[in-house]
Structure 1
């Protein structure tokens, strides 16, 4: 969970790098669409048509970047989008939006 809404440049690069793979981007978008209930790993595997080991690799990259959380509920693992990290990444990307517009004209 985020303790601050400001990302460092290194954290932003890590998050963007994690999303730079087409499968990871699809995976993240599926989790965003699923909402706060998330999806279990088996359902993600079925929807993405990925082998378990490949899916685990992609989930690991997204989890390391803070974009996915995984929670064990009994025998299943439920994944949810890291909404705080996503919001913080968007804030990082747009924090100086249009501040140089007059200089560029």
Structure 2
């Protein structure tokens, strides 16, 4: 399933569902990088629907983050699936995608 884009004030919301692994990497890369053509200063990823992610998917997220930062824009993850949380835990990459004061919780869980 392709990414869906929506604009909310100064933010671009990207909703990703399905797999974000090596098997989808070639398809997902241009979809994710399309966000670079949009003008909103902040890009928020909704990854609550991601049921599978591996290091290829993490690399795509890091690429998007780097490319946005080079353009003076910000990337945040607004919602996490358990698969995304597990991958970020394994690779110790929480701080790369979360605001410093945010609490990392899977989608649907409360503190």
Which has a greater percent of strand? 2
Q: TM-score, normalised by structure 2?
A: 0.30
Structure possessing the higher relative contact order (Cα contacts under 8 Å, 6 or more residues apart): 1
Which has a greater percent of helix? 1
Q: TM-score, normalised by structure 1?
A: 0.31
Q: Which has the larger radius of gyration?
A: 1
